């Protein structure tokens, strides 16, 4: 499977770390962000990589060359003018089959075989890796279809098919912390369908391709607790650096057995209020949110259990 990495970011919000190189070349724990990504891809057998470069792209090309010294095959597409987060996808040669699309400013450690199997099993036009993050208020959120009890063995079930896309500027009365992580598997079918309504070479993946087609295309959310974090701010950069050094990034990969803490809900996380029928009855106990955050930061998964299926 081909991999396309969008590596043309300027890193404006994180310029205090380094401003004279492209953001994907910022070093973290002694390696450029891109090298961390390429090593993870190679580990998963994904070695056919195209890097989309722009701002100061010669630094990337000089460092990685054809990829042979890193055990992968790297080709390049240079944007002479910025084409947005998806414009290059219509110009790169050879994207005739489903491909993996990544942002070049993200640290991750993922078992990609599980993601690819999920994508193929749904015959998806696109599969978006989704996860809870620490800043859902400024992230794109995904809403998925809930199947009725009669079609799901007697209980409501999540089909994982995306039915609504919420950008950070959209009104959100309430939402599930299910964030688009910036890792996508995309079929050329979707690009062809979206092309009919595009009027510019500068294309935004979210607003011009994914969001307009959630209702007429098979777009799925692949939920994972694995480590994925973009480094759009200095605070996130230093947080990721800490997580790499502690081993948390690698441990979250689903190829490893996961440790978890199971938490009862009523009386443990929220005040006991009998049979809950309204979200307003849900009142967190003091310190509960901080405790769950500590569990997540420790490398354990925090799993909430309850015998009430209503809320």
Instruction: Please say if the pLDDT value at position 278 is more than 60.
Output: yes
What's the rounded Cα separation, in Å, for the pair 195 and 168? 24
Pick from 11-25, 158-172, 208-222, 255-269: least confident: 11-25
CATH 3.90.550.10 domain residues, the chain: 2-257
Instruction: Please say if the pLDDT value at position 279 is more than 80.
Output: no
Identify the band that residue 251 occupies on the pLDDT scale cut at 50, 70 and 90.
Answer: very high
Q: Checking DSSP bridges between strand 99-103 and strand 179-186, what pairing results, if any?
A: antiparallel
Instruction: Please say if the pLDDT value at position 289 is more than 70.
Output: yes
Instruction: Please say if the pLDDT value at position 308 is more than 70.
Output: no
Q: Which residues are within 8 A (CB) of 187 and not within 5 positions of it... i.e. 6 or more apart?
A: 98, 124, 125, 126
Q: Which residues are within 8 A (CB) of 66 and not within 5 positions of it... i.e. 6 or more apart?
A: 73, 74, 75
Question: Considering the entire predicted model, what is its pTM?
Answer: 0.89
2-257: what CATH class?
Answer: alpha beta
Q: What separation in angstroms does the CA of 158 have from each of 29, 140, 148, 263, 310?
A: 38, 19, 9, 21, 15
Q: What separation in angstroms does the CA of 190 have from each of 27, 62, 64, 89, 203?
A: 35, 34, 31, 11, 14
Pick from 43-52, 109-118, 142-151: least confident: 142-151
Instruction: Please say if the pLDDT value at position 187 is more than 60.
Output: yes
């Amino acid at each position: 499977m081909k991999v396309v990495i969008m590596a043309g970011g300027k890193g404006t919000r994180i310029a205090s770390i380094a401003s004279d190189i492209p953001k994907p070349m910022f070093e973290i724990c002694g390696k450029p962000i891109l090298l961390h990504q390429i090593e993870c891809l190679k580990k998963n057998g994904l070695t056919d990589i195209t890097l989309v470069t722009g701002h100061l792209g010669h630094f990337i090309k000089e460092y990685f060359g054809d990829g042979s010294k890193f055990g992968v095959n790297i080709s390049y597409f240079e944007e002479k003018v910025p084409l947005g987060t998806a414009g290059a996808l219509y110009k790169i040669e050879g994207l005739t089959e489903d491909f993996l699309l990544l942002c070049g400013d993200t640290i991750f450690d993922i078992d990609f075989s599980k993601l690819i199997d999920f994508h193929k099993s749904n015959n998806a036009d696109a599969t978006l890796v989704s996860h809870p993050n620490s800043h859902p208020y400024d992230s794109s959120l995904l809403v998925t279809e809930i199947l009725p009890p009669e079609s799901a063995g007697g209980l409501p079930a999540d089909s994982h098919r995306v039915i609504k896309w919420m950008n950070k500027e959209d009104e959100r009365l309430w939402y599930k912390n299910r964030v688009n992580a910036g890792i996508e598997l995309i079929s050329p079918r979707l690009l062809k369908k979206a092309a009919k309504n595009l009027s510019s070479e500068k294309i935004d993946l979210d607003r011009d391709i994914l969001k307009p087609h959630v209702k007429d295309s098979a777009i799925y959310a692949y939920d994972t607790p694995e480590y994925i974090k973009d480094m759009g701010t200095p605070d996130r950069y230093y947080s990721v650096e800490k997580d790499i050094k502690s081993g948390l990034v690698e441990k979250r990969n689903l190829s490893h057995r996961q440790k978890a803490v199971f938490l009862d809900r009523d009386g443990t996380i929220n005040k006991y209020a009998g049979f809950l029928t309204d979200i307003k009855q849900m009142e967190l106990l003091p310190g509960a949110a901080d405790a769950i955050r500590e569990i997540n930061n420790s490398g354990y998964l925090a799993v909430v259990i309850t015998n009430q299926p209503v809320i």
